[in-house]
Structure 1
Amino acid sequence: MVAKTKLFHHLLLLVSSLLHLSTTTFAIGVNYGTQGNNLPPPSQVANFIKTQTIIDSIKIFDTNHDILNAFANSGISVTVTVGNGDIPSLANLNSARGWVAANIAPFHPQTRINRIVVGNEIMATANKPWISNLVPAMRTIHKALVLAGITNVQVTTPHSLGILSISEPPSAGQFRRGFDRAIFAPMLQFLRETKSPFMVNPYPYFGYSPNMANYALFKRNRGVHDKYTGITYTNMYDAMLDATYSAMRKLGYGDVGIVVGETGWPSVCDPGQPACSMENAAWFNGNLVRRTSQGKGTPLMPNRRFETYLFSLFNENLKPGPTAERNWGLFRPDFSPVYDAGILRNAQSGGGGGGGRQRPRPTPGSQWCVPKPGVSDQALQANIDYACSNGVDCKPIQLGGACFNPNNVRSHASYVMNLFYQTHGRQAFNCDFSNTGVLTAANPSKSWHMQIHLRSNFEGWIADSVVLLASLVIADSVVSSFVVMALAVQHFWTIPI
């Protein structure tokens, strides 16, 4: 009876978690650049994003009217950009009203323009007229929107991490002296007043070094310790966001939201650049999508869901500079994926189509993630620590838990590695664990003490049990949702315990 009660408890937790995920917004956007002579027309792009991906928003680097028309009535949110050179003139209200009348009013609200970004990384340009007019232009554009009767479009501006004079450790983050009070304090005050976010572009790629590769790529590593908070950071991305937050908090604006305007990883570079590879790009962006969809936040901002714009949608063949500049894209111009970043609805190779938006289909067939033979207990314990700190419920392998026995490191590692793989998208890279994990079609739990197979022979028992338990704690109107989720689990999920 005790074992069955524990079984019911774990099943209910699983189903409720899945129900939560099924109704959660992913907040995944993409930067849609157009510096290419082989790119598809905007109408095809809009259809592809809407029907084939989990992307719910785009950010463009101008106010391209063809793109704005193409995304009308698509349900996709659009962020537009004021050109850097236009900033000084738009500090004037008449000019700002003219700009809004030409570039926002004709398209809104049919096109869901949700945000205007003023310039791009202006603080890194050293252009004094642009910098001095940045906040005045932001205020004036906002006023022009209000005068035009548009009250649901935010105004902000994106920043590189160069705005920070100190970024390590994250809790010591602060803005560059001189700009902190003169520029960032009034900017943050404006953002607070208008309920707009602070936009930052964190790129671990640019902080890559061979000895920090795993730290930059969301791979298992020893971490970087913040001596002031006692927090050990396991990835550079969280550290960058927390350093930005610390700088904002030092000025008294820790309550202002943060949006990630750009981040990504190139798939091809010039020779001699070890950071750049298809595998690294897939690993970084795939894990970023997963982390964003989970809404875990960061150590200093737990449980925050950051609206995040990947860079970029396409490889753009006319971009100047090194090879990497032309290879940041998630897709080729024919819509085929450069690699799997976990944003295609059904992991297809491209093209048009219809249907509702959903998460990408996992690897086909029943597969389990298990430790490779010969992996040391020390490495397996590190896998346990990593998985348990990244979303896996490890209570079942603790003393008194349903999966505590057999009490050995390999058995516990098998449980958490497989659960990490099953609950984090079931992509091959979710079972890498620094090359200590392997996928198998043979169910390893057959040699364990017990298992749950949510298959047809348990259908009535599972559905009845879930409904019975759910009826004790939730309203009748929600019970049917739990039944649906239980049946979905029955067909697609196998979790050894």
Structure 2
Amino acid sequence: MTIRFYDMEKHTLTKMTIMSLSFFFLLASSRAISSKMGVNFGRLGNNLPSPKRSVELLQIMKAGRVKLYDANDEILKLLSTTKIEVTIMVANDEITQMAKNQEVADKWVHDHILNHYPQTMIRYVLVGNEVLSYTSTDQDMQTMKDLVPAMTRLRASLKTLGINNIKVGTPLAMDILESSFPPSSGTFKTEILPEIVPLLNFLSGTKSLFFLDVYPYFSWADNPTGINLDYALFEGNQTYTDPGSGLTYTNLLDQMLDSVFFAMAKLGHNEVMMAIAETGWPHEGDKTQHGSSKENAATYNRNLIKKMTMVPPKGTPAQPGVVIPTFIFSLYDENEKSGPGFERHWGLLNPNGSRCYEVDLSGKAYKTSY
């Protein structure tokens, strides 16, 4: 693994400092969260099974959670007959109006939550998708500013109704970091601090989670000669010791997660728990997209499930013993997604409902030691 230069004086945290972080808060909070595996249910395809069949397939696959990219009424009704925990989303283009008007937030909650809850086990509402990654237009910048106010209004709507077990969050991408390697150097980009600081204050105050889209595949694909493939796939015996923290890592995912943890800690919020909104590995791609294969996808997702369903929970080197709710991307291959070939081949299932490769979402098949 290639070692990158960084400012030791600015970013180094000693091992003693790490041990003094508030693990007790994290551990106490994580006990209330299950280690069930989740799946992202995207629908950007013109050849996908019906919502009814999709919910049946989620049950057959023993999914413990599902994340929708909207709040589809039909799917939410179908999920009411299951024990699957549900995450729904507010679209990016709904954020500004919701931030301006409490009645907009109240109506959203009435239409998309009250019509289904508690029969449908809605557990999280995620406001927007990777909002802090979009900065090219004036509206993008306005949406960034409106993110936390919209989340605050949604939370107020839920609180007024006495609903306290549905948490409000937002999924962010790894490009929110200015520095991510080694993990102890993790820092947020300066230009998004006006949004990150109030976001962390909100998550801390409501005991919600920091949702992250984290893809070791992309980090490995950007630097295949510097990062060992087995290290990205949770395979082999390679380790990396962070010179700043003294913590030893056995896989790339833990490094990426802890880089965000250290970035939060530097802003005084090491108590905020994390969740993985998206992660996965493509099982097919264009000729130039090396590493996108069924074998690698199966290896990554099986090892991910093994790690995230461990009892007691494994956590990460900087967050040991902590449950990290995780959603695999994605349920289906989606043929209407744009971009390179691999964008259409992240599914656990083919469009006809057959498995792209075998995985056990319950984790029971992977109960050997990790």
Taking structure 2 as the reference length, the TM-score comes to 0.85
The secondary structure found in structure 1 opposite 2:309 is: helix
Larger Rg: 1
The secondary structure found in structure 2 opposite 1:144 is: helix
Aligned to 1:153: 166
Preserved contact between residue 276 and residue 324 of structure 2 (Cα < 8 Å): yes
Distance 2:172 2:348 in 1: 22
Aligned to 1:323: 341
Aligned to 2:255: 239
Preserved contact between residue 186 and residue 259 of structure 2 (Cα < 8 Å): yes
Aligned to 1:55: 63
Aligned to 2:92: 84
1:231-284 CA-partner distances (Å, limit 9, x unpaired): 232211000010010011111111111111000000000012212111111111
Preserved contact between residue 29 and residue 56 of structure 1 (Cα < 8 Å): yes
Distance 2:34 2:122 in 1: 18
Q: Which amino acid aligns with 1:110?
A: Q
Aligned to 2:243: 227
Match of 2:83 among 75, 81, 84: 75
Distance 1:151 1:73 in 2: 22
Match of 1:252 among 253, 263, 268: 268
Aligned to 1:114: 123
Aligned to 1:423: 368
Aligned to 2:231: 215
Match of 1:297 among 287, 301, 315: 315
Aligned to 2:198: 186
Task: Give me the identity figure in percent.
Answer: 39
Q: How many pairs were matched up?
A: 327
Aligned to 1:196: 208
1:431-468 CA-partner distances (Å, limit 9, x unpaired): xxxxxxxxxxxxxxxxxxxxxxxxxxxxxxxxxxxxxx
Aligned to 2:114: 105
Aligned to 1:206: 218
Distance 2:224 2:272 in 1: 35
- Mapping for residues 264-303 of structure 1, pairs under 5 Å: 264-294=280-310, 295-303=313-321
1:143-179 CA-partner distances (Å, limit 9, x unpaired): 1122233222110000101111011110111111132
Preserved contact between residue 35 and residue 324 of structure 2 (Cα < 8 Å): no
Unmatched segments (≥5 aa) in structure 1: 1-23, 346-357, 363-421, 426-497
Task: Quote how far apart the aligned CAs of 1:104 are.
Answer: 1.2
Distance 1:291 1:327 in 2: 23
Aligned to 1:359: 364
Distance 2:143 2:331 in 1: 28
Distance 1:94 1:342 in 2: 43
More relative contact order in 1 or in 2 (CA 8 Å, sep 6+)? 2
Q: After the TM superposition, which parts of structure 1 deviate over 3 Å for at least 4 consecutive aligned residues?
A: none
Aligned to 2:353: 335
Preserved contact between residue 105 and residue 148 of structure 1 (Cα < 8 Å): no
Distance 1:217 1:63 in 2: 33
Distance 1:41 1:112 in 2: 21
Q: Which amino acid aligns with 2:158?
A: L
Q: Which amino acid aligns with 2:248?
A: T
Preserved contact between residue 218 and residue 235 of structure 1 (Cα < 8 Å): yes
The secondary structure found in structure 1 opposite 2:38 is: strand
Distance 1:115 1:25 in 2: 13
- Is residue 2:157 matched to residue 1:139? no
Aligned to 1:41: 50
1:172-204 CA-partner distances (Å, limit 9, x unpaired): 111111322x11121111111111101111100
Q: Which amino acid aligns with 2:79?
A: F
Aligned to 2:20: none
Q: Which amino acid aligns with 1:118?
A: V
Provide the aligned C-alpha RMSD in A.
1.8
Aligned to 1:31: 40
The secondary structure found in structure 2 opposite 1:261 is: strand
Distance 2:317 2:267 in 1: 20
Distance 1:165 1:46 in 2: 39
1:6-55 CA-partner distances (Å, limit 9, x unpaired): xxxxxxxxxxxxxxxxxx954210000011122112222222222x2231
Task: Quote how far apart the aligned CAs of 1:221 are.
Answer: 5.0
Unmatched segments (≥5 aa) in structure 2: 1-32
Preserved contact between residue 27 and residue 306 of structure 1 (Cα < 8 Å): no
